[in-house]
Amino acid sequence: MSAVEKVVGELKQLEELLVQCSRCGTCQSVCPLYKKDRQESSVARGKMYLLDALVEGQIKKADEIYKYLDYCVLCGRCKNNCPSGVKTDEIFLRARGILRQVKKLPAWQKLALKVAMGQPKLLAAMSPLFHIGLRAGASKVDDGVFKPMGLFRPLIGAMADRHVIDMPAEPFTKKYGGFNQAQNEKMRVIFYPGCAVTLIYTGWGEAIVETLLHYGVSVYVPEVNQCCGIPSATMGEMGLYKKQIGVNFDYFDSIKDAEYILTCCPTCEYGLGATAERESGRQRGKQMMDIIVFMAEVLKGDYPKDIPLEGRTTLHIPCHYNHAKDSVLKEFIKEHFDTEYADLKNDGCCGFGGTFSLKNYAHTKEISALKAKEVEERGYKNLFTACPGCAMNLTDATLTAETAVQASHPVVEMYRRRIKKNP
């Protein structure tokens, strides 16, 4: 049996999911890439056609299909709005994993996975080098934001135009990894920081842990942060994804006296949720939720109110956020901040998509520019989001548009302005 025949045979296992698509085209109205490109291959329906054709033997070059599946932000909006309930995310992730057998991972992506995803302890130890390297190869353009020097353009192409958030000299887990005991303890939780908070937005992690400690919640933090595995899955490396799920689930299971797993990254919550349970055949064992949902619905502390914010405020809700809790996120901002709040009219994807942005920055930039344009036109001075990846991407977009607005997290601003103890 040839490699292509083997791949086609495995893809046939997805037929039960594929036939649920009625080809209605509803996904066109919500897909950020289709709105930009107007190409059928950009949207879920077009990708379904290609997979069907491959399974039915109408297309012989299986490796060429991969590029169309890979050109997807995996925002999940097609799934969330599909009238037939087609599990597009499951189909595309599993298909990428199957097709990876005939479409090998490029060398640079393989190296990135091997170091960044497979060696988390080494990656954390390299934080001082990243911190120094950023200052040596980039210029500071705003508080905590750098931009690569032009001489690197031949090596990194369009990425030379990206604004890069500063990488601190120490990872978040160096200070907070382990057990953090609260005075007058009420309960114990696990805080799963994810890669972005561990290496880049360490201040987010500090704000969340210190706020929880302030309100009597003791916090377990992994001493070594193991990636949630979604970057591996999106690159078709499902074997590595399953391994990362196992490491994280083992850690969660090892903590016997914590009921909740908290995170500030919706994609991590997604990657370690139902998708992880399906792929690994294991149950997570503890409830995982967003930090703001926990504070609002479980802890219910006497949090500061009327925290002043200068100018108008808006919110970008991440694609992978638990959208049943969108109103909780909005009300948290309205209840605790003294500001003129309004929803973004453009409630679509910011275009980041994790590894998608690394491979398709020009497309990411085009999508995020629409968000930045609204921020500028409606005069917003404060931009909140509940995802570090979205924060990076939106900050890049707003600074590119010269609005000087950096995205932040509500708990971070609450901590910095009211809870943090000045030395």
- Phi, psi at 141, each rounded to 5°: -115, -15
Separation between Cα atoms, residue 26 and residue 135, nearest integer Å = 46
Domain extent, residue 54, equals 3-99
Contact 299, 229 (CB under 8 A): no
CATH of the domain at 372: 3.40.50.1860
Q: Determine how β-strand 307-316 pairs with β-strand 337-341.
A: parallel
Q: Which of 99, 118, 147 is the last residue of a domain?
A: 99
Strand partners, 217: 187
CATH of the domain at 42: 1.10.1060.10
Separation between Cα atoms, residue 20 and residue 171, nearest integer Å = 45
Does a structural domain hold residue 9?
yes
**Model pLDDT for residues 299-338, shown as the tens digit of each residue:** 999 999 999 999 999 999 999 999 999 999 999 999 999 9
CA distances from 5 to 51, 69, 229 (A): 14, 19, 28
Does a structural domain hold residue 276?
no
Separation between Cα atoms, residue 218 and residue 183, nearest integer Å = 8
Does a structural domain hold residue 163?
no
Question: Which sign does the torsion angle of CA 283, 285, 287, 291 carry?
Answer: negative
Does a structural domain hold residue 398?
yes
Q: Which of 74, 99, 124 is the last residue of a domain?
A: 99
CA distances from 70 to 31, 94, 168, 319 (A): 14, 12, 31, 18
Q: Which of 35, 68, 99 is the last residue of a domain?
A: 99
Q: Distance from first CA to last CA of the chain, Å, rounded?
A: 69
Quick one: which of 292, 261, 240, 215 has its CA closest to 100? 240
The per-residue pLDDT string of the chain (423 residues; one tens digit each, 9 = 90 and over) reads 677 678 778 888 888 899 999 999 999 999 999 999 999 999 999 999 999 888 887 767 777 888 999 999 999 999 999 999 999 999 999 999 998 888 888 777 777 777 777 788 888 888 988 888 888 888 999 999 998 887 677 777 778 889 999 999 999 999 999 999 999 999 999 999 999 999 999 999 999 999 999 999 999 999 999 999 999 999 999 999 999 999 999 999 999 999 999 999 999 999 999 999 999 999 999 999 999 999 999 999 999 999 999 999 999 999 999 999 999 999 999 999 999 999 999 999 999 999 999 899 999 999 999 999 999 999 999 999 999 999 999 999 999 999 989 999 999 999 999 999 754
Does a structural domain hold residue 154?
no
Does a structural domain hold residue 213?
no
Number of structural domains in the chain: 2
Does a structural domain hold residue 93?
yes
Separation between Cα atoms, residue 297 and residue 283, nearest integer Å = 24
**Model pLDDT for residues 82-131, shown as the tens digit of each residue:** 999 999 999 999 999 998 888 888 777 777 777 777 788 888 888 988 88
> To which residue do tokens 């690197």 refer?
152
> To which residue do tokens 């500071």 refer?
140
Does a structural domain hold residue 192?
no
